Amino acid sequence: MFRTRITELLGIEYPIICGAMYPCSDPELVASVSEAGGIGIVQPLSFTYVHGYDLREALRYVKQMTKKPYGMNIIVEKSSRVYERRMYEAVDIALDEGCRFFITALGNPEWVVKKVKEREGIIFHDVTEKKWAEKDLSKGIDGLICVNNRAGGHAGTKTPAELIAELYDFGVPLICAGGIGNEFSFIEALNLGYDGIQMGTRFIATQECHEKDNYKKAIIDANERDIVLTERVTGVPLSVIRTPYVEHVGTRAGPIARFLLKNRWTKHWMRLWYTLYSVRKFKNMTQKGGSTKDYWQAGKSVAGIHSIEKAEDIIQKFVNAYLSQCECESCECKK
């Protein structure tokens, strides 16, 4: 047993989430993390657009591989009608297939809350600071994914310690997302008071993740100084490994793009353009095996990642390390 608010709420064994990752989330990775006692999160666009599954079939495939719970990520940012319709459908399909845990990101999660609460599901939302948390919790969110300044994907600006200090008084479960690459940073996050952790980068360098070997090797070879934020992929700072290509094209959006991204009339169109561009770019990169003109997304957790492992072994290593030093009353360490 390893009890925190998150294991109780989600009915899982260990407070470890494999975060959604476009384009890295695939059914085998999601299922292996859930089967190992954590919880894997489906990224619906990655499953369908990158890995070529029909979403319902893919969720059934996950269920064949594990009977344990899994979750789904919905990026709720305003975008094209087509995208929004696909996301409505994704939530409906997931609910029909028995998924009851959703993680929303980048926008107003209200419509997801409405659909999911009707079916007694649980929703967490990504936040990077207190003012967003206040808004989202008023809409019925159950817990917060606290995205810090070390995260892969769209990083926050605050350290894990700063974020928990700001958010603790809300009294809801808090998940530390960012910077966790080994058992020591896992222990550190739980000792700071987080109820659980979400990892992305660590789970890319696994046997179950279908990313190409050169991407996994780049994660293993990188240290945290190699992680830079670029605005040139999605218009919002995104953590990537500094490669010669990234150095060549630079990391700042051009002056016109910056202007259009700030303007209230044009910013949604601009973000849509960036989204379509990055969706295509990452899809090509995954299918063509990667080239020197790649954006390899990763967080500063690369510092603690030194080998490709099985997801199950990573989870067991983290859990054993935590239990061997834990002195609380509620877990196996006392036995």
Ligand X SMILES: Cc1cc2nc3c(=O)[nH]c(=O)nc-3n(C[C@H](O)[C@H](O)[C@H](O)COP(=O)(O)O)c2cc1C
> What is 19-87 written as a DSSP string?
---TTT--HHHHHHHHHTTSEEEE-HHIIIIIT---HHHHHHHHHHH-SS--EEEEE-----HHHHHHH
Find the shortest distance in angstroms from Cβ 200 to ligand X: 2
Find the shortest distance in angstroms from Cβ 300 to ligand X: 6
Find the shortest distance in angstroms from Cβ 334 to ligand X: 30
Neighbour tally for 20: CB within 10 Å = 27
Find the shortest distance in angstroms from Cβ 202 to ligand X: 6
For ligand X, the closer of residues 155 and 260 by Cβ is: 155
CA distance 300 to 306: 13
For ligand X, the closer of residues 137 and 209 by Cβ is: 209
CA distance 314 to 311: 5
For ligand X, the closer of residues 181 and 260 by Cβ is: 181
Binding site for ligand X (CB under 6 A): 19-22, 24, 43, 73, 75, 105, 126, 147, 150-153, 177-180, 198-202, 297-299, 301
Neighbour tally for 42: CB within 10 Å = 29
From first CA to last CA, the distance across the chain in angstroms is: 11
Tokens 């016109």 appear where? 256
Residue 165 makes CB contacts below 8 A (sequence gap 6+) with: none
For ligand X, the closer of residues 284 and 333 by Cβ is: 284
- Overall residue count recorded for the chain in this entry: 335
For ligand X, the closer of residues 2 and 186 by Cβ is: 186
Find the shortest distance in angstroms from Cβ 296 to ligand X: 8
